[in-house]
Structure 1
């Protein structure tokens, strides 16, 4: 088992290499040589390049959660999420060129894009929690996926942002969150319709069950008529 120090050294070296080379050119052999670790040690620390990317996402999540402002609770959910995502941009800025390499690689490889998306969705679930927007079930996955796509657009803007004040990035984030608010309203309406439909189906099922029972034994007269004649005579 690799030590935390060794894992951090390898991850840092990986990100540094991405600031100079395309993602596809950073081989595990190059990484081991640059980090000055044996391949066996690299294997114990990270099983693949994808594992390194996942570790990067997790490190960004942790940094954002550590920097979370505990006073955010007084703000509306949208404003809390804006602050959390801008904090994420600030954390990403430490490895901006590596982020650029990831974005370029994903744009050229659909399979890789799907893998990165899986990490991004998981990260955005944590960003929602950090903003006090704690969702559950299928709704959590839908909202996190939508937020992952929206945030990727914000990152694209940020990567080309010439101003350190990031006015374009903040403006893009504002617009994406506005669209997200509209999406949430539609999603909530659909959720209400779905709940109503489920209630209707359950009620209809119960009515069918009751009708089925009545059809089988509609009333006492039917039951009496259905008895054999000898039985009716003996019961009189």
Structure 2
């Protein structure tokens, strides 16, 4: 019996590389341009060209240069949250915060040169700083939650805004710290964490001390409308003609 000719080997299906995230391309393009030229000279067309997207596509991705800066926050958030583990879950909050800030700085490192040029310009624009602060507050809610620090209780807003300020101060030193050991950054972070711990401790003490006053204020505010309603009800009844019961 004649042998059947051997079937040609089946070619392995080619695995194409996953398409690059256009948002990441745009963010990377902006910071690459910012490292080489002044912020005010970077046009939207420059960003689109550098990222390899059309201006229409850029408009669909981001409405403005400021929004692209916000895109960096999202990229860093994703990187930090993806790298979160339970290794430090039993450590004090200060140690968890130290690790969190350093991991965030690591995620920012590819964009450091651009940030170094952009930040002095943004600090002179209060409206831009206010918008960036709102984005940072949203970001740090997730950052603190990832290391088990409460954000939704009465002192949650204090913790979140405090973390935003702490990160901003440490980043000032980090942007000028080019040492491999980052000794200046580590020292600044250590000082800022000590200050934040002291401030939060005082805020917690104040919150406990004012608890009776807050309770009294709530009681007074809730009682006054009832008194007014009762007074109005008495006045209404005095002027009513009650129909006889049937």
Give the TM-score range, shorter chain: 0.7 to 0.9
Q: Does 1:178 align with 2:188?
A: no
Give ranges in structure 2 of 5+ residues lacking alignment: 1-18, 229-246
The question of whether the paired residues in 2 share the 8 Å contact of 1:16 and 1:98 is answered with: yes
| Cα displacement (A) at 1:171 | 0.9
Runs of 4+ displaced beyond 3 Å: 201-209
Alpha-carbon shift at residue 145 of structure 1 (Å): 1.4
Q: Which residue of 2 aligns with 1:100?
A: 116
Instruction: Pick one of 63, 77, 94 that aligns with 1:61.
Output: 77
2:21 is paired with a residue whose SS is helix
Q: Gapped runs of 5+ residues in structure 1?
A: 213-236
Structure 1 residues 5, 188: CA separation in 2 closer, same or farther (over 3 Å shift)? same
Q: Which piece of structure 1 moves more, 50-59 or 5-14? A: 5-14
1:184 is paired with a residue of what secondary structure?
helix
Give the number of equivalent residue pairs. 210
- Say if 2:92 is the partner of 1:109: no
- Show the counterpart of 1:48: 64
Does the alignment pair 1:19 with 2:35? yes
- Aligned equivalents of 1:207, 1:139: Cα separation in 2: 27
Matching of residues 1-236 of structure 1 within 5 Å: 5-137=21-153, 139-202=155-218
Secondary structure of 2:155's match?
Answer: helix
Q: d(CA) in 2 for partners of 1:45 and 1:36?
A: 13
CA distance in 2, matches of 1:31, 1:205: 55
Instruction: Report the CA distance between 1:199 and its aligned residue.
Output: 2.0
SS of residue paired to 1:70: coil
In the TM superposition, residue 200 of structure 1 has moved relative to its aligned partner by 2.7
CA contact under 8 A between 1:157 and 1:172: conserved in structure 2?
yes
- Local SS of the residue matching 1:134: coil
Change (3 A) 1:21 1:208: closer
Q: 1:203 to 1:111 in 2, by over 3 A?
A: closer
Higher helix share: 1
Query: Matched residues in 1 for 2:142 and 2:182: separation?
Result: 24
Per the TM alignment, residue 134 of structure 1 is displaced from its structure 2 partner at its CA by 1.8
1:90-112 deviation digits (Å, cap 9, x = unpaired): 11112101221331122221221
